[in-house]
Amino acid sequence: MNVQENTTNSSRRARGRPRDWNDKTAQNTIKSLDRAMEVFEYLSKAQGKTLSELATDLDQSPATVYRILVTLEGRDLVEFDAEEQVWHIGPQAFVIGARFLRRTSLVDRARPILRKLMHQTGETANLGSEQTGRVLFLSQVETHETIRAFFPPGTMSPMHSSGIGKALLAQMDEDRLDRTLDGRALQSFTEHTITDIAALKADLAQTRDRGFAIDGEEKNLGMRCIAAPVFDMHGEAVAGISVSGPTSRVGSAQIESFSSSVIEAAELLTRAIGGTPR
């Protein structure tokens, strides 16, 4: 390597990250910022908390939590309801989250495909991905029917009781599947929820063979979901597309036609992001 190349690489590293990038010890963390993020993340999940409740739940002093909240409020990341005397997540949090979604073309490219899927089936179309062992819903196009499924972007759901979750689980190899399910209790939501690991794996094998997953009232009674995986350029399942609706409209007779539409939508999105359908 010549001097010019060495200088270029050093400059590039300086602009991108420091030499001690991989050093995550205490000397390279900002404790006050870490504490603030703990409060922010907790409030995002537990909306409508008083100052004393937040301090107690997080085992921090009310004075410390208050300073953090006021600082975050100045950035519109949290807001205070003076009438109820409780704190909520603020509008700027959504703005930042929306910027994250724009970072990838997945959501943007999925929108017209979701709209087409909704019109084809008459039911709500969803896009979701796996996030820390759960399904994160990224986008949705709602049906015009009065009774409909509703998963606003940012909603998290257990994978074992979700159509998209099972579509993604079915594409994992045995080791990754075991790691994803390891230590997680398969919570029962309805009498149809699969709570046995062996039974779930059998369901996933069937899902893999037919190319789509079915959530048959496993999360909510009276609701059915049909989902298929979306693949990236490496052939890895990175997202799932589904349609969800009441069993009165998404009955056994509709599974064949709906699943064909869902698989087609998943393949269209796979190609749109440069992936290879399986």
148-184: per-residue pLDDT in tens? 777 778 889 999 999 999 999 999 999 999 998 887 7
Residue 45 domain-assigned (yes or no) = yes
Task: Please tell me the distance from the alpha carbon of residue 69 to that of residue 88, in angstroms, as a whole number.
Answer: 10
The domain tally of the chain equals 2
If asked whether residues 89 and 190 sit together in one domain, one would say no
If asked whether residues 70 and 181 sit together in one domain, one would say no
Q: What is the pLDDT of residues 76-133, one digit of tens each?
A: 999 999 999 999 999 898 888 777 665 567 998 999 999 999 999 999 999 999 988 8
Q: What is the pLDDT of residues 3-28, one digit of tens each?
A: 444 444 444 444 555 555 455 555 55
Whether the model clears a pTM of 0.75, i.e. scores above it, the answer is: no
If asked whether residues 67 and 131 sit together in one domain, one would say no
Q: State the average pLDDT for the chain.
A: 87
Averaged pLDDT, 61-76: 94
If asked whether residues 181 and 231 sit together in one domain, one would say yes
The domain spanning residue 152 has which CATH number? 3.30.450.40
If asked whether residues 110 and 73 sit together in one domain, one would say no
228 contacts 108 by C-beta, under 8 angstroms? no
213 conformational bin, left if phi > 0, alpha if psi -120 to 50, beta if neither: beta
Q: Which long-range contacts (CB under 8 A, 24 or more apart) does 253-259 make?
A: 254/121, 255/214, 255/226, 257/121, 258/121, 258/123, 258/226, 259/210, 259/211, 259/212, 259/226, 259/228
**Which residues constitute the domain of residue 54?**
3-94
The domain spanning residue 35 has which CATH number? 1.10.10.10
If asked whether residues 248 and 202 sit together in one domain, one would say yes
- Residue 191 pLDDT more than 80? yes
Domain boundary among 94, 118, 153: 94
